[in-house]
Structure 1
Amino acid sequence: MTDAAELMQKLDALMPDVLDRHAKLVRIPSIAFPGFDEKPVHEMGQAVVDMLRDAGAADAELLAVPDGYPCVYADIPGPEGSPTVLLYAHYDVQPAPKEQGWTSDPWEPTKKADGRIYGRGAADDKSGLAMHYGTLKLLAANPPCRIKILVEGEEETISHLEPFVEANPERFACDVAVIADIGPQAVNRPGLTTALRGDVSCTITVSTLANPVHSGLFGGAAPDAMTAMIRILAGLHDDAGDTVIPGVDSGTWPGAAMDEPVYRAGSAILDGVDYLGTGSLSDRIWAKPSVTVIGMDVPNTVEGSNVLLPSVKARLSLRIAPGSDADAQLDALMSHLRAQTPWNCKVEVEKVKTGHAFAVDTSASAIKAAEDALSEVYGKNVEAIGSGGSIPLVASIQKVAPKAAIVLWGVQDTEHARIHASDESVDPAELQRMTAAQALLLTKLGA
């Protein structure tokens, strides 16, 4: 059987091609958010099809997803009786506004002095696409198992892929699903993610007046909607910063510890600013709930005038503990918000989305094989880590393939990748190691 050293040696020659493909993808601003140009998203989908075909997936194609952007699908037959492995990634990316503070063009992959490649999507998740390309270049000519590939076009926004997958269970059935949309704590420090917090979201609209009124003539008795909103939102956390919503579950983290210096570097917390919450750092980011106000409709400081606001709308995202029921957690959040009516203000709460939490069955043989593959490539012990993020498709895969093992890994290191933020980047050496680990895993599964 092919070993780690042999795969790394083959990748030494292959990586210039992998990185060239990666660079071409980063140059495409494939933002699937409503209101953005649709053309680059469709261009990106076709670019992924072409890339996979060049890697050996001759039948790679775009599949129409009702009400959403198309997904990319391929199916490479393997030896008779071999397992079916589904490789997943997504081709859409977050926006990259100038006000985020980019120090290089987000749509031009830039290799800087630290050796990392910078650009929007360089890590999340065009690194996953590059991993799959490299894996197919290594294995597609003589696949050790049946390989299916699913690449989504709406992971960063409200996805339409989940109902499509659930409506086509035979197409997406698998024995193992490998989700290349996550990463370790730091480069050259192998980590296997064993739990995901879910993400449920809603909007709250607070209204107090029929129309704006002069803040000097009427302020002091007439209630301002923004002031009422502030009072409601302030009650979502206690003085320590823990999320305190009745009915929302919490937990403790049983695996490896979150490295505090890694977390501090990745989170960009200012010197002297305290952490939120109680419990271990791992508990707070991987096992406990966390609610965030991710948007609010109010006048900006330039346009603000001396008026009381009649109505204010905010969007909240609640990260939920692994093992909790997402629908129940969203209901708890929405019920709590509806009950908050300072000065008898009018409160309307509406659901935005439900993203389910997930915990890996670490006893599965495929998970052990993934751990072994990482250990052999890196020559180090593998950490069982969590993730505060969510990957909505995982719940759908569980529905169409309830016995499938799910491997969560990738190249998006916590310390420096800065996904969703300015100066997002990926380490090319880490990309090579993870591509080797993925190819080795498929080889092990086939054997």
Structure 2
Amino acid sequence: MPRLCDELERLVAIPSIAFPNHPKEPVRRAHDYVVDLLRDAGVQDLDAIELPDTSPVITGRIPAPPGAPTVLLYGHYDVQPAGDESAWETPPFTPTRKDGAIYGRGAADCKSNLIAHIGALRAHGGRPPVGVRIAFEGQEEYGSAFDDYPPSDPGRFAADAMLICDMGNVRPGSPTLTVALRGAADVYVEVRTLKHPVHSGEFGGAAPDALLTLIAALATLHDANGDVAVPGMRRDAWDGTAYSDEEFAHLTGMLPGTAQLGTGPIGERLWHGPAITVIGLDAPAVDSAASAVVPYARAYLNVRVHPEQDVKEGQAAVIRHLEALRPFGNELKVTGGDAGAGYAATMGGPAYRAMRRSMAAAWGADVAEMASGGSIPLVNALAKAQPAAEILMFGAEDGECGLHGPNERVLIDELEKTVLAEARFFDEYAKEAGR
């Protein structure tokens, strides 16, 4: 563990942000360092998938012993931008150890999980009792051509099970398998009512107000309780683990006196039902606003769809709902944007059983099941490339790790238990396959 923690810190210190307008050299440096770690851990045939406008995807393999299954290990070596650095208590790319954790951008998402893979391979001296394939990408956070690539080259991803280590536990100390991901889609809504702004005193009250029209349309997306009110969007009961009200308020930073959106169990709202969030609005800024009727307004909606509902179907439901509206008699222009499919895992197979035993042993606690409101488009692509493979989603992150926000951190104890669980999984899965 001391060596793994040192290596994680060296990796976190590399600002591998694969976003436009960020330098490519650090991304390449992170790639090269991960390749060196894999080679040291016994991975052979190290190579890269090179795609247009995409950071290299690291591939490699350790051949399976006779009769043993093969496991694909997934993670990514790129990170989110740091955001407002003044909100960080320590510099984002100066990894800092304190209170049993390593702080820094990417310490949890997802460099700790890459290090967990390395540690699990080292635990077996680079010769695990299963075959191993590597798929470590370098542009997951921004998205790339790799998102849709696996079905076009299925042989590169041939495996009996896949460990998607870009997730974590519902809370520290509670081993958790993620078994479903909501789909995600973008929808844009525009309103244009006037050629130009007009005086709100002279013409307000009769002149068609684009911003009021847009607000009226957006208000129909939810009912009075905040539940999604768009017909055709699926929502089901959720019987896995979930956050308590107190945990949720803490994790989201809810202010005193505010209320959650919607009704019903939190897990159902977050993971087994739809969400529609207004994530952008084009309208005059308050500080520079003139006394005028607004002629144009636009909103950017992020739509989350039940893991088992076709994401295009959910996106189309929102578009149909908005196109049918005529707020104050005015027409809306509604268009769809990107859409990434959700995923629901098949549970109960040999890899799933082996992982449950391994995680329970590593943490000394019963294994919980949760879903994620976020999406990982590549998971669906990998499932299409190898439809018979069991897909297991877990990792060293936890519900309080601060991924994508300031002061991101990974708990060293959680990282150690992730390494132990994965190393033990190789043994347990080999036993399952031999039965």
TM-score, scaled relative to structure 2: 0.92
Task: Sort the Cα spacing of 1:337 and 1:90 in 2 relative to 1 into closer, same or farther, 3 A.
Answer: farther
What does the per-residue CA deviation read over 1:209-260, in whole Å, with 9 as the maximum and x for residues that have no partner?
Answer: 3334444454333333333222222221111111111111111102234333
Provide the C-alpha distance between the structure 1 equivalents of 2:211 and 2:124, rounded to a whole number of angstroms: 58
Counterparts of 1:1-400 in structure 2, within 5 Å, are 15-98=1-84, 101-112=87-98, 114-139=99-124, 141-400=126-385
What amino acid is the match of 2:221? L
Provide the C-alpha distance between the structure 2 equivalents of 1:429 and 1:355, rounded to a whole number of angstroms: 33
Provide the C-alpha distance between the structure 2 equivalents of 1:312 and 1:93, rounded to a whole number of angstroms: 33
Contact 2:83 2:405 in 1 (8 A): no
Unaligned runs of 5+ in 2: none
1:422 to 398, 403, 406: 406
Task: Sort the Cα spacing of 1:381 and 1:222 in 2 relative to 1 into closer, same or farther, 3 A.
Answer: same
Report the CA distance between 1:115 and its aligned residue. Answer: 2.3
Contact 1:250 1:287 in 2 (8 A): yes
Matched with 2:430 is 446
Provide the C-alpha distance between the structure 1 equivalents of 2:414 and 2:258, rounded to a whole number of angstroms: 31
Identity fraction in percent: 40
Report the CA distance between 1:57 and its aligned residue. Answer: 2.0
Three-state SS of the structure 1 residue aligned to 2:61 is strand
Provide the C-alpha distance between the structure 2 equivalents of 1:347 and 1:290, rounded to a whole number of angstroms: 21
Contact 1:185 1:262 in 2 (8 A): no
Report the CA distance between 1:119 and its aligned residue. Answer: 1.8
Report the CA distance between 1:288 and its aligned residue. Answer: 1.5
Task: Sort the Cα spacing of 1:207 and 1:139 in 2 relative to 1 into closer, same or farther, 3 A.
Answer: farther
Three-state SS of the structure 2 residue aligned to 1:74 is strand
Task: Sort the Cα spacing of 1:17 and 1:216 in 2 relative to 1 into closer, same or farther, 3 A.
Answer: farther
What amino acid is the match of 2:303? L
Task: Sort the Cα spacing of 1:351 and 1:48 in 2 relative to 1 into closer, same or farther, 3 A.
Answer: farther
Of 23-32 and 241-250, deviating more is 23-32
Provide the C-alpha distance between the structure 1 equivalents of 2:163 and 2:297, rounded to a whole number of angstroms: 42
Task: Sort the Cα spacing of 1:163 and 1:270 in 2 relative to 1 into closer, same or farther, 3 A.
Answer: same
Three-state SS of the structure 1 residue aligned to 2:321 is helix
What amino acid is the match of 1:171? R
What does the per-residue CA deviation read over 1:277-323, in whole Å, with 9 as the maximum and x for residues that have no partner?
Answer: 11112211121211112223345445544444433332211121122
Task: Sort the Cα spacing of 1:37 and 1:232 in 2 relative to 1 into closer, same or farther, 3 A.
Answer: farther
Provide the C-alpha distance between the structure 1 equivalents of 2:86 and 2:323, rounded to a whole number of angstroms: 33
Contact 2:149 2:381 in 1 (8 A): no
Report the CA distance between 1:68 and its aligned residue. Answer: 2.5
Please tell me the root mean square deviation across aligned C-alpha atoms, in Å: 2.1
Report the CA distance between 1:402 and its aligned residue. Answer: 0.7
Q: Number of residue pairs matched?
A: 431
Provide the C-alpha distance between the structure 1 equivalents of 2:60 and 2:288, rounded to a whole number of angstroms: 50
Three-state SS of the structure 1 residue aligned to 2:189 is strand
What amino acid is the match of 2:342? A
Contact 1:77 1:143 in 2 (8 A): no
Report the CA distance between 1:139 and its aligned residue. Answer: 2.8
Three-state SS of the structure 1 residue aligned to 2:52 is coil
1:433 equivalenced with 2:408 (yes/no): no
Three-state SS of the structure 2 residue aligned to 1:24 is helix
